[in-house]
Amino acid sequence: MKYPPKHHQDNDINHMIEVIKTYPLATLISVKNNTPLITHLPLIYNETGKLIGHIDIYNPQAELMKDDNDITIIFSGPQCYISPSIYASRQLPTWNYIKVHLKGKVKAIESKEALKQSLITMTEFLEAPDHKYVLEPDNRAMNGYLEYINMFEITIDSWEGKFKLSQDKNLKDTEFARAELIRANQASVEAFLEKCFKI
Tens digit of pLDDT at every position of the chain (199 positions): 577 888 899 999 999 999 999 999 999 999 999 999 999 999 999 999 999 999 999 999 999 999 999 999 999 999 999 999 999 999 999 999 999 999 999 999 999 999 999 999 999 999 999 999 999 999 999 999 999 999 999 999 999 999 999 999 999 999 999 999 999 988 888 888 888 887 5
**Radius of gyration of the chain from its Cα atoms, rounded to whole angstroms:** 20
Name the phi and psi angles at 168, rounded to 5: -85, 0
Burial tier of 134 (Cβ tally within 10 Å: 0-12, 13-18, 19+): exposed
Entry pTM = 0.92
Length of the chain: 199
The DSSP symbol for 38 reads: E
Distance between CA atoms of 100 and 16, rounded to whole angstroms?
6
